[in-house]
Structure 1
Amino acid sequence: MNFFGKMLLIISILYCMPSAGSIKNYAPPEKVPKYILKLLHNHKYDQAINELRNILSKSRDREDSLKMLPILAKCFIAGKEWDSAAVIYKKLSEIDAHYKEWWESLYNIVIGPEYGYKPVHLPKTINSPQNEILPVISSDGKELFFIVENIKTKNQDIYYSKKDKTGRWVKRMPLTTLNTKYSDGVLGIFNNGNALLLLGQYKDDGTKTPGFSISKRINGKWSKPENIKIKGYKTKSKFVSATISNDGNIIIIALDRKEGYGNLDLYYLKRNPDGSYGPPVNLGPDINTPGNDGTPFLASDGVTLYFSSDGHPNLGNGDMFVTRRLDDSWTKWEKPKNLGKELNTIFWDAYYTIQSDGRNAYFSSSGYGTYGGTDIFYVSIPESLRPRFRLVLHGKVVDEKNNPLVANIKYFDKKTKSILANMSSDKNGLFDIPTQSNNVYLLSVTADGYDSLKMDIDLRITPADTPYTVNIVLKKKKIPPVLKQNLIHFDFDKYDIRPQDEDILLGLIQILNTYPEIKAKIIGHTDSVGYRSYNKKLSIKRAKAVKNWLVAHGISEERIICEGMGEKMPIADNGTAEGMAMNRRAEIILIREEK
């Protein structure tokens, strides 16, 4: 249908409309009929409009004709014919007083600016004829977790993919260590990419119960999930979505509860000192509506929240929105802003997730021409819709020989003393902290066996969107040159540890636990009584006796070196009883292990 034909159709409907205030029991946009929806999904927009024209030509009821208008507007939106859709929404806002604000909001969306969205369909190494939903991207954008849902059985499993050296996504793989015969999913990634928030609680018998759990990346592998305790957790809906802050202190979750504002509402949970989470607290009416508000994603700035909603004015079957927290209460938010006519479709759009730099996002949609059901797409984010941290602090932690270190990183607002990030550097010593300019921060870095380091990060003169890099060198803790007492003595011809010497060994254990890079060298000695060959064996037994005592008290045997010197190295005169007693000993030497 050409432009004039479309406009003639619109005018013919508008002409037969009732006057303002005469519409009774009218509701916001109804669902698009399935056969028309199928035409739109296949990009047959003109055919869908013709079908509507046929319906309208047979209808003699003005109110029935009127109810087709929102569906017609959706057809125009699907074809990106914003002006035609705007004409309809403008007229609806004039004649429907009850939903005036709703229609005006949709009108403003379709006449609004075009941000230049160009969603990219991820390749078949990730998407398939099944449903791919809930993408979770790592902070560096090189690792993607998502759910693959079988369209027929509705079974959900966790899959992941990584980018190769050329920046292409490799073939997806199931995360078998975390998948069960029940519904599984990664809801969020935090602690610099070293922890996952998981759907459900894993039981020892292989079953799962409602709730959440956490898996940690240890030596490159995901650990057995640890179940999260949440006070007062309950929901009437099987639909579960959540997001977690970068430091793990806040979880935002979609729940269907009796005391909510509608069906699904968004709530926040705050972590307690013991690792459990407090009771769900509703985010409030600024966000939640009588409809469904879900699929939250909290950006790394800890302020910007993305979510999907069919209760706020939306173009389709639930649009994506952005809002920002106004204070520290988690219940006061800016008025949610629709992400716009280019990104949101008339279909289902949800699960907006962003890299830590705030520039790029991944989301699920069934409205862009998929391989079957719902697929995952990628898009660059316009400046106005990005998180507010504006820049990312890139850091690397190394030792004095430039070897990377896994260290604990804490990032504070220097003025308020509030902690903004608590994470670990990865095995390469790298970490990223999204932050804001025009402020001064405090960075605290600690690692076992190294002196801690604190430094100011002054970003008051750093231009926005400018990468800020900091290199951190940690110095090894100074090792005591020797123990206050480093000799263990033995009775004549014996090699068992005497009770009076155990305090010396306990002091050694304390040092070894404090300085994990230290090894202990134990050298056994004897007096001059007996054959040299016998004394050599006895000195080795004395060194091993010390080693065995330390191992029995928790020290790894790999950190202990044994040697026997026999009678060759006396420290006193073997001609006296006192001298021989001093020579019957094991000497302890502390050795710093060099990398």
Structure 2
Amino acid sequence: MRHTFLLLLTCFHFAVYAQEEHEKLEGNLNSSANEVAPVLSADGQTLYFVRQYHPQNVGGVTDPGDIWYSDLQADGQWGVAIHGGKTINNRFYNGVIGFADERTAYVHGHYLDRNKQPTTQGVSTTSGQKNQWNTPQAVKIPYFYTKSKHQSGSLHASSQIMLTALQSYDSRGAEDLYVLFRQNDGSWSEPKNIGNDINTEYQEMTPFLAPDGKTLFFASNGYEGFGSRDIFMSVRLDESWRSWSNPKNLGASVNTPGTELYYNIPKNGDFAYLSSTQNSDGMADIVKVRINPEEEMLAEADSTLDIPEEEPIVITPSVVETFTEPEPEVIEEVPEEEPETLMATIQGKVLNEKAQQPLNAELVVRSVRNDTTLVETIQTDAQGTFSVSLPLNDNYELSIVAEGFIRQRDKLLLAETTEASTLERNYQLTPIEVGSTVNLENVLFDRGTADMLPGSGERLDEVVEFLGENPEVAIEVGGHTDNRGRADLNIKLSSQRAEAVREYLIQQGANAEQITAKGYGGTQPLSSNAIEEERRKNRRVTFMIVRK
């Protein structure tokens, strides 16, 4: 019966958010620059958005994004876009997350005097409107951290829930979606990963929680779609915020061969707003699509949402007696037993990838939250096996090192584990010798281009480190595609991607003389090209050792 109910709930919500084909905004809002991240004001009369790489931004044409706005005109068109001013804009990325009320906005990032780059990441709040704002003040959010340059998120209509995209401690790959809750004292909880029902090893970004508090819209390139990144929809199935219905592509009426991001439904609005590169005036434009809510509850914020509250620290004051009592009987106090620290045992083997023989390797465990070495060295035995026990209240990075082999790293996501357990982890290290090839997972590109997606740098930074530690080594960066399309164009695209990776490595400090680049197109598949899951394995970037 429960499964039947969830199925009906899912179908109901998907039917509610029916939409027609999106259309361009009438007026002068869009330009030849990149317009993204639309957020409508509470009264529906002003549309705030991010304009990227525009000469009138604070940082000029290299500025990754300033907040602009446009007013709705009497004829229904949008007026000329106006810069939001230097109080809320600097030479870094600036964007509106959402409005807590008519004059209070949450914005991306932290702000410092004299346009200095912030040393911490996160969210700020400011009051004002249009181009008149007070100086944004940092919002303290514990463990708010992302490795990605991309920033996106939204504030729920209730102002009590925030969704954000982070490549953080426990992310599954590139950006994952996280939820934060406003506490009774006004503070915000730490970001909570919403789980594997939504998040993939690829990018999930630009999340938006509909006013009903259950229907989630987000962009992803981790599911089958029409273009580079598509908009998907999923329904929250319980109060854990980790159980979601199977994500559903919004279809050809919203998604195109281009890129769709930032799907946003204003309070009591008739239209959803999003950004799209399809048929745009320049890079991306803001477009709209009519929505047809079938129930009044979907047009207003749900005030009955279950917002988890962090337990406060309660201090009970001692009672001061003002009269004399007989001396009490002495009762020996029995100290309370400290709660047992739950542990996970990580065990496995380290092998030579080529010879499939045990390796004498060292493993170093680092606490991700505290960025400290927790266990200095774990040594494998003669059979290449190891074992280590770790507390469950943290996430960890494991480095596997053996002389003459390429270092390998792994993430141990234990913070949300609630029961002691034993996990098996087996590793195969690639020998540093001519001909050895390494697949650079999570180095991803916008579909059909040589533009690397955010999050690709983490894996490539490890290659820079490897080349610095081994100056005698030279590598060839290889680009690979699947076999769809013309072979000559695949060779050209894969060559461009390989060269883009080479340029990144050099920019990060690698010696240019150690790196060459070559595109192989679809000539070296890892598996069949019959289905998308197999084709995805063939679209990859590798490096091969060509000199030692």
Normalising TM by the smaller chain, what interval? 0.3 to 0.5
TM-score by length of 1: 0.44
Larger radius of gyration: 1
Query: Which structure features the higher share of helix residues?
Result: 1
TM-score for both structures, normalised by structure 2: 0.48
